[in-house]
Amino acid sequence: MSELRVPSVQHLARNWRSDPALIARILIRLVMNPPRFNYNPLYSAVRDLLVLGVPYDQVVEGIRRIKRVSVRKNLLEVLPLIRDHFAGVAPDFYQTIDKRYYPVGRGLMVPFEPPMIYGVGGQLYFPWFSFWRQNPLASERLSLFVTLVDEVLMQDPDLETARFEILDFSCPTPKQPRALRVIDAREIPRITDARKAEMLDAFAEGYFRAIDALKGKATPAADDRADKTPEADPDQPTFL
C-alpha cells in the first residue's frame, strides 16, 4: 500500500475540513486512489515560453508527445491560457525558489515550493498556479492558503515585496471549459491567528489519524454526508 506523505501547503488548504475525521478520510482516499499524473510539464512550458522564448507551436508539440490521451488533453486545455496570460511579458529576470517548510503542529512540517518568481520593470511577481479543473480553493480555505503563504514570504526579505497572484485555471461551471482567473492575493481576507491555529490543529489531527488508520491502529469515524469531496480527483497533483 502507498504511504501517506506530507501534503503541500496548497493541498493542506484544499483538503481542510472542520472535522479531523473528515480530513483523515479524504487523505486515506488519496492513498487508496491516488491521481496518476502531475502538471510538471506545464511548469516547464511556462519557463520555455517566458524565459527561453521557445515558439508556442514547439511547446505544444512537446506536450503532444505525452502518450496518455487523457493527460495530454488535460494539459493542452491549459496551455493556450498560459500563452495568453504571459504574451508580451519580457521578464528582466526569472528564478526558481528553494523549498521551504511551514510548521503545522505536532511536528508536522508542510512543504512550500513556489514554482518561480520573475521581475518586470522593478516589480517582483510571484505567481501561484492552480490547475484543478473543479473545486479550486475558495472562501476560508483560500484565506488559509494565502495567510500561510504570506507568513512564508515575510520570512524572506527578497520576497516580501513580491506581487502574489493566484492563477486559477479551473472551469467556471462543470459544463464550461477552463478559463483563467487571476486572483490578486491582496484582495483575499486573511484569517486571524486564533482561527489559523484551530484550522491547523484540525488538519494535524486528521493527518495523524489517517496515518494510524492506514497502519491498522484506528479507523476514522465521520458522517460521509458531511464530506462532499469526490472519491477521486484526477486534477489534484499527487503528494504520494
Rounded to an integer, what is the distance from CA 211 to the centroid of its chain?
A: 22
What's the pLDDT tens digit per position in 9-59? Answer: 999 999 999 999 999 999 999 999 887 778 999 999 999 999 999 999 999
Evaluate whether 63 touches 46 at the Cβ level (below 8 Å).
no
pLDDT greater than 50 at residue 163: yes
pTM of the model: 0.88
Paired sense of beta strands 108-112 and 163-168, if any: unpaired
Q: What is the CA radius of gyration of the chain?
A: 19
Number of other residues whose CB lies within 10 A of the CB of residue 81:
17
> Helices (DSSP H) in 16-55: which residue ranges?
20-32, 40-47
pLDDT greater than 70 at residue 134: yes
Beta strands in the chain (DSSP E): 93-95, 100-105, 108-112, 117-120, 123-130, 163-168, 181-184
- CA pair distance 124, 210, nearest whole angstrom: 39
Per-residue confidence (pLDDT) for residue 34, from 0 to 100 = 82
pLDDT greater than 50 at residue 238: no
The DSSP call for residue 146 is: H
Give me the mean pLDDT over the 110-133 stretch.
93
Evaluate whether 182 touches 167 at the Cβ level (below 8 Å).
yes
Q: Where are the domains of the chain?
A: 9-39+91-216
What's the pLDDT tens digit per position in 226-237? Answer: 454 443 444 444
More confident residue, 111 or 97: 111
Evaluate whether 7 touches 192 at the Cβ level (below 8 Å).
no
**What one-letter code names the amino acid at 59?**
V
More confident residue, 46 or 158: 46
Phi, psi of 172 (to 5 degrees): -60, -40
Map residue 128 onto helix, strand or coil: strand
Number of other residues whose CB lies within 10 A of the CB of residue 56:
15
- CA pair distance 33, 121, nearest whole angstrom: 45
pLDDT greater than 70 at residue 2: no
Evaluate whether 77 touches 171 at the Cβ level (below 8 Å).
no
Q: Which residues of 175-202 are buried (b: 16+ CB within 10 A; e: fewer)?
A: eeebeeeebebeebeebeeeebeebbeb
Give me the mean pLDDT over the 83-100 stretch.
92
